[in-house]
Structures are given as structure tokens and as C-alpha cells.
Structure 1
Amino acid sequence: MKTTALAATLLFAHGQTTERTVTAAERLGRAFGLTVRVLPYWGEITVEIEGTPISQIVAAKPLGVDMGRVLAVTTVIDQVCDGTLPPDAAHSALIAASRLPPASTTRFTLFVAIGAASLGVLFGALEATSLLLIAASAAIGALVRRWLSGFSANPLIQPLCAALIAGIVAAAASRFGLSTAISLIAFCPCMVLVPGPHILNGAIDLARTRMALGVARLAYAAVIVVLVCAGLLFGFAAVGAKLATAGSAPPVPLAVDVIAAGCAVASFGTFFSMPWRLLPFPIAVGMLAHAVRWALVVVAGESAGTGALVACMLVGTIVTPVADRLHLPFAALAFSAVVSMMPGFFLFNAAAGLVELVEIGPSAPATLLTAIAASGVTAFLIIMAMTVGLILPRMLFERFSSAYQKSL
């Protein structure tokens, strides 16, 4: 039971969906000749042997996302269940999987810079100076995040400090007149901090009526978003500048949009420690999804929410069976393919508008209130569309595959 609890803890803590965590751990238990129940909660996992009062409670918080470790743990479980790994060697193999290093600091920093710059391109920042400032800001934030990880295990400090750096760099660029795309220089390095996998995992838990765990996951994601917004605004305040709301830019050409989306997908795959050999799959899916979204929004004239919904349903349909076959966490794999569709621009625009509203006070123009409401509602609708689009194919696949297996 100790080995089963360790496997469940590692999967749960590194981004695997709750359902797949429970299924894998119970499968491992059966390989040991035990019928176990795995009960995950925020902060702990309980493993019970059915029909007995024996149970074990282990501390576990789903704070991170590491595809490499999830893949390694699932591989150990498969080897034990297939008989290619002796059961008495499983525990040490799981310990070794838990110690796998994340992406190197060099790779992490480089791809953070590429991802932020790619998001800048997608939102219309095509000037070389603006893209260099976005990449430099994101790279500095990545280095600070890795440095902080050696001093504190608190997962909230890193996004706060990275967003603070983004605010300072953007405010300094505004002070010295280095670029006209100040909002994008501020927003794009912060968009790589949006906790998409936690939002998706929380939504899946709610859909499966794991209400407490789902609410806890979403609350954790919401706290990170609030801290990112706060860090960005604090950075502007530290330099004595103001972050103004920004208007939407015209869409970029299809080829530019698709290539930039592919770069963003590669970057987020690196953030989640995806092995190099697996990166081509989400990159291809992400580029296809962006082409579909571009056609819907630019050619067909559909709304951003509709484009995101259709594109994410396509991604969910393609990724679901592949994630199960490759034993990768669905939320991380799916989110990395659609990360560039996240409405971080609208979220941060709404936050900047709220600060401006507080500063102006009762004399604030009605247009400012309208802009804040429009940005906030747009962000909410896009997030809802993306969440439904990604998890609906997942839920349907699991429902029908389970029914099919029972019929055999």
C-alpha cells in the first residue's frame, strides 16, 4: 500500500487529472494483490484497502505540472502490471522517477523568452524593439523564478516576482519612449504565467462532481492570476508610470499566426518538462487549431469565444486518446496546444482599467467602465469556451470507452 500511495501522490502532485490518478493507483494496487480505494483531496490522498480498516494518508498538493515525471511514474506502473518490473523494485523506481530533473535553466529561460515573444506576435507586436523587450523581460523573469525555487517552495512567490519584473521593464520602456506597444510588453511576459492546467483540472473535477477539489484547484489558479496582475501593477507603480488599457490590434497574417502559435506551444511544452521527442505532436495540433480559429474569426467573422470553442474542441478530440496512450497529463498536453488562445490580454486589460478607475474616481468616463466590462466579460467567455471545448471531448471519450469496455 505504501508504493501505491507514493504513485498516487506523484501523479497527483505533478499535474495528472484526478480520474487518471485514481485509475492508475488502483491498477497498481491490483498488481500487488490489493483492492484499494484512492480518495484525493486538496492537501492529502487517502489510500484504503477495501473491506479492511487499513488506510494510509499522505500529504499531497497538486501545485506543479511535470509531464516527464508523470510519464516516468506511469511507465513504472505499466511495467509492474505487465510483469516486466518486480513488485519489490517498484518503490525505488518511483523514487527515481520523482527525482527526475525539470528542464534545464538554459532551456527554460530560452523557451520562456520565445513563448512570450510569440504571444506578442499573435497580439500584433511586430516591431523588433517590442519583441526584444518582451523576450528580455520574460527571460529575466524566468531566471528569477528558477533562482527563487532554490530558496522557497512557495509556488506563489515566483509568478508575483516575474510579473513585477514585467511591469518594471514595460514601465521603463514607456518612460524612455522605447516602444509604442507598452501594453503588450507588459502583458506578454505575464501571459506565460497563467495557470491553464490547473484551470482545466479544476473544471474536470467539477464536471465529475468532485466539488471540493475542483473549487480548490480553481481557487489556487485564481490566486495566481490575481498575484500576476498585482505584480504587474506594482512594477508600474515602482517606476512611477501608469499602465493604460490597450485596444485590440488587427489580426496578423495566417502564416505568421500559425508559426507563432507553434513556437508558443513548444515553449509551454518546455515549461511542463515535456520530453523533446513528444513536442512535435502538441506543436502540430496547436498550429492546426490556430489555423481553424484564424479562419473562423478573420474569414467567417465569428467571435473570439466561438473561435476558441471550436478550436479547443478539435484539440480535445485529438489530444484525449493520445494523452491516454502516451500516459501524459491531459490538462498539460491540451493546454500547451491552445495556450496562445488564453485571454490573458483581456484579463490584464481589465485589471489596468480597474486601477485607472480607482485613480480617476467618480469622474471616470463611461467609456472606461464599458472597456473594463468588455475586457472582463470577453476573458470570462473565452476561458469558459476553452474549458468546455477541451474537457467535453475528454468526458465523452471516457464515457463511451468505459461503456465499450463493459460491453466486451
Structure 2
Amino acid sequence: METSCPDPLRREAALKTTALAATLLFTHGQTTERTVIAAERLGRALGLTVRVLPYWGELTVEIEGTPISQIVPAKPLGVDMGRVLAVTTVIDQVCNDKLSHDAAEPALISAGRLPPASTPRFTLFAALGAASLGVIFGALDTTSLLLIAASAAIGALMRRWLSAVSTNPLIQPLCAAFVAGVVAAAAGRFQLSEATTLVAFCPCMVLVPGPHILNGAIDLARTRMALGPARLAYAAVIVLLICAGVLLGFAAVGVDLAVANSARPVPLVIDMVAAGCAVASFGTFFSMPWRLLPFPIVVGMFAHAVRWTLISAAGTSPATAALVSCMLVGIVVTPVADRLHLPFAALAFSAVVSMMPGFFLFNAAAGLVQLVSLGPGAPPMLLTGIAANGATAFLIVMAMTVGLILPRMLFERFSSTREQSQ
């Protein structure tokens, strides 16, 4: 393996290849730390000692000890496990002398062009995932589940169509949430379902940008103060647009979105099966290869069983149950994600997606709309409900984030210490 790259042309080609690999990993959901490690490892294999400096909007790859660098535009807007796996495979092949240096760039370009999950699969699993979340939150009648599935399927088709006509990633969740609001409002107007609020909420829950929240939290924990808040701000904007979309859908039909009652508990077996279906759907959203889907499904079902037991049998709060369950998921997923070269945030979030507090979040949004419409005549219980739902959603998100990233941080700390001692 080469250790130096004195020829200017070869050095420029090696720098370009390294920057391409870093960009593909960064923009398709890999954690920042793993992106940096993989790119620097590839640089060494190509004969360069490089530093990778990621920011929102660009990546800087510079050769240490020289003023030579390359700045490439890069925004971490998407999540694609298949492409991350393919790019990392190319890096491993180069580092293990199984792929020539000249063939590295074409191989990376091919990896970056891998197609996402097909539209039929994407649509089918969107419907399955939303309906599964409906089951978890207590919508057990057939009509409500069919409405939820149909709404999510229409939203998925719209998202795919919008991705082909616009590069703005914010339009997709807004329009899909609008569809969910229209379907739910129409169901309420024609009295097709008693769970109108869940018909609105469940298709919106599959739009929540969990991997961006986790990656942003990890960046903050690593004191990447420019990148972490930017990731979290992007996720927050998506959540706000989801809320706005569903509220606009109700307004378009002329129906008010009511605050939903607390979710009815479902039996453990049904809860676990529904959680597994939700995990499968999010694995599809993130273009996870079929052969890898069973792992997060099993982990997700186990985690949801733990959560169900803690809430139903032990009487713990949803936030505490989410913390314990997600910590177990983090312990299991962290070494597997590294071994399989998959983005940790996407894999971990897929396993715990059914725990996201979308029910409380959207309930708080519905309460705020009612508060504005009622004005000074709003009952005190409405304000109390808004505060309770908002606080519960915030605590659950924090508990899930800490539970998932703490094992990750400890594992990386242990791994780096072990490598230094060898």
C-alpha cells in the first residue's frame, strides 16, 4: 500500500476521491464521526494524510502540512443505508488492496447512484408503517386502519413525485401531512371513523426526521457546535411543517382538529408485531437492503416489549420507559452498525421509531390551534393539556436521544482507548 503521493496529478486525484467518499457518506446519513474516520482512512490508503472538516453546506478535505485542500458542497439532508453501505464497501476494498486506486472514484460514483427503494415498496411500507402505529396507539377498528394506510400510501406517492420535480426536501413532508389532514378531516365530516385524530396523526408520524435528531444530538455531544444545531434546526423545521400541513388539511375541509384522548393500551403480542412492522417500514424509507431488515425488526420488537412491560406492568412513565428501552437498543445496535458499516442513527431510529412521541407532539399542536380559536374563553384544562403534551413529547425525545447515543459514545470511547493501548 502506498504511503505517499508525490505526483501532483495523483495527489489531486486522491484528494478528489477522498472528498467524494466523504461527501457521499455525509449526505446519506452516516454519523459525522464515522464519516471523518472513513474518509481519513481512505486518504491514507491513497497516500495522503488528510483532515476532514464537516460543516452544514460543505465539507473541507485538506492535506495536512500543506495549503492544499478541496471544498465540496454537502448538506446532510437524506438517509440512504444502501448507499452508505456501498460506499464503505468501496473504501474497505481500496484499503485492503482489493480495488485499485484508479478504480476507486468510478466505484464511488456508482455507489452514490444506487437507486432508493422502489416506489411500490416505498408506498406499501409507508401504508404498513402508518397502520402499525395506529395499532400501537389504539386504533384497532378496520375502517380507521384502512384510512390510515390509504392516507400514508397517497402521501408516499406524493413524496416520490415531488422528489422528481423539486430538490427542496421540505416540500415533501408538508404536502404529505396536508394529505393526512384532508383524509382525516373528510373521515370526520362523513363520520367514517371515531379515531379521526389518529387517522391524521399516524401518517404524519412516519414523516418524523428521527435520524437527523440523533445525528444532531451526537454532533452536539462531540461539541460540533456549528453542525449539531444546524442538524437539529433542520429536523425542527420538518416537524413544524408536518404540524402545519396536517392543520392546513383540516382547515381546507373546514373541520377542526380535536385533541385526542390518551391511547388505549393494546395486548403485548399485538404491540410487538405492530412495532416490528413499523421498523420494517422505516428500514424501507432508509433504503436498507432486504437481507439486513430482520435485525432491526427483532431489536425493535424486543425494545417495544421492554417499553410495554415498564409502562403497563411496572407503572413507569413513558419517558423513563423510552430511556431504558433505547439504551438497550443502543447497546445492541452500536457494534452491529459499525461491523455492517451502516449509519448508526438510521439503524437505531428504525428500531425505536414506534416510541417517537408523535401522539403527544401533534396533540399539543391541535391544542394550540384550539387555544387560538377560543381565545380568552379557552378553558384552563386546554392550556394544561397543551403544556402536558408538549412537555411529555420533549422528555420522551430527550430520553430516546440520550438512551441511544450514550452507549454509542461509550463504545467509541472504549474502542479508541483500546486502539491506543495496542
* Counterparts of 2:282 and 2:89, CA distance in 1: 23
Partner residue, 2:3: none
Match 1:10 to one of 6, 21, 24: 24
What SS is found at the alignment partner of 2:152?
helix
Tell me the CA shift for residue 363 of structure 1: 1.0
1:393 pairs with 2:412: no
How far 1:247 moved relative to its partner?
1.2
Q: Which residue type is aligned with residue 37 of structure 1?
A: R
**Structure 1 partner of 2:225:** 211
Number of aligned pairs?
A: 408
In 2, the alpha carbon distance for the partners of 1:98 and 1:368 equals 49
Q: Which residue of 1 aligns with 2:367?
A: 353
* Structural mapping, 1:217-296, within 5 Å: 217-296=231-310
Deviation digits for residues 145-201 of structure 1, max 9, x if unmatched?
Answer: 001111001000000000000000000000000000000000000000000000000
1:250 Cα offset (Å): 2.3
Q: How does 1:7-406 map to 2 (within 5 A)?
A: 7-406=21-420
Displacement over 6 Å in runs of 4+: none
Give, in whole Å, the separation in 2 of the partners of 1:235 and 1:250: 26
**Structure 2 gap segments, 5+ residues each:** 1-14
SS of residue matched to 2:200? helix
Q: Secondary structure at the match of 2:114?
A: coil
- Counterpart of 1:148, as a letter, is L
Distance between the aligned counterparts of 1:158 and 1:280, measured in 2?
28
**Partner amino acid for 1:302?**
T
DSSP 3-state at the match of 1:163? helix
CA distance in 1, matches of 2:246, 2:67: 51
Residues 77-123 of structure 1 deviation map (CA, whole Å, 9 limit, x = unaligned) = 00000000001100000000011000000000000000000000000
In 2, Cα distance between the equivalents of 1:141 and 1:23? Answer: 37
Cα RMSD after superposing both structures: 0.3
Amino acid across the alignment from 1:386: M
Identity among equivalent positions (%) equals 81
What secondary structure, in the 3-state scheme, does the structure 1 residue paired with 2:52 have? strand
Q: Which amino acid in structure 1 is aligned with residue 324 of structure 2? A: V
Structure 1 unaligned regions, length at least 5: none
Separation (CA, whole Å) in 2 of partners of 1:150 and 1:279: 26
Letter in 2 for 1:333: L
Alignment partners' CA distance in 2, 1:97 and 1:33: 22
CA distance in 2, matches of 1:182, 1:7: 46
SS of aligned partner of 1:132: helix
Length-normalised TM-score, structure 1: 1.00
Deviation string, structure 1 residues 173-232 (Cα, Å, up to 9, x no partner)? 000000000000000000000000000000000000001100000000000000000000
